Amino acid sequence: MRVAPLPSEYYSANSTALSGGHLSDEIVKLQETDGVADKADGNGHAGEAIEAKLTNLRLQLENREKSLAARELALSRQEADLRTSIQNLHLRLQETEAKLANRERELKQKDGLIDAAAVRETEIGRFIERLSSECDKLSAELCEKRLLITRSQRKPRHSTSGGKVWKKVLGLVQEEAS
């Protein structure tokens, strides 16, 4: 019982998927050996052992192909997950950049307010200096006036009783005149 050999395209297409094409190379060698053994041994007993080995290798190849297909599916799923993660990260980055731009605008506005406050502070400082000098002038004037008042209070006054005296004198003068 002889198994028909697989087409060479099958081996060449699948050998790249396997690690180094080790199994497919063995299958090709076994098929060549099977043909030589059949010619050498006319009864086909050696061919059955090779055929069993060949069938075993084909099963291993199928299992590896299934394993590779499963890995490829897992990798494609993982790739899709990673792409989704990248898209999410990209969206978060855009949101963060927008927030940053807003905060930079707010910062510029606050800087403008700080500059305006600094100008006002300078103006207030000048106003305070002017008020201070005005207060010094008024204080000096007040001191001068107090000094004048105290000096005028120190001068001897005429007694108010002197006014009464004059009234009496005027009253007498009027009486005599009448």
Cβ-based burial of 60 (10 A; exposed 0-12, middle 13-18, buried ≥19): middle
% of residues, the chain, pLDDT over 90: 51
Task: Name the pLDDT band for 178 (thresholds 50, 70, 90).
Answer: low
- pLDDT the model gives residue 67: 95
Cα distance between residue 156 and residue 145, in whole Å: 19
Cα distance between residue 94 and residue 99, in whole Å: 9
Q: Which domain holds residue 59?
A: 8-95
- pLDDT the model gives residue 11: 43
| pLDDT tens digits for range 28-72 | 766 666 555 555 455 556 678 888 999 999 999 999 999 999 999
22 within domain boundaries: yes
115 within domain boundaries: no
26 within domain boundaries: yes
Nearest alpha carbon to residue 11 among 23, 34, 69: 23
80 within domain boundaries: yes
32 within domain boundaries: yes
Cα distance between residue 54 and residue 34, in whole Å: 9
Cα distance between residue 4 and residue 1, in whole Å: 10
136 within domain boundaries: no
117 within domain boundaries: no
Query: For all residues of the chain together, what is the average pLDDT?
Result: 80
140 within domain boundaries: no
The residue among 19 and 69 whose pLDDT is bigger is 69
- DSSP class of 159: P
What does the pLDDT average to over 4-22? 46
| pLDDT tens digits for range 108-143 | 999 999 999 999 999 999 999 999 999 999 999 999
- Please give the tally of structural domains in the chain: 1
Structure tokens at 64: 């590896």
Could you tell me if 51 and 34 are in contact, meaning their C-beta atoms sit under 8 angstroms apart?
Answer: yes
Element (H, E) at 57: helix 45-154
Contacts 24+ apart (CB under 8 A), 158-163: none
- Res 20 pLDDT > 70: no
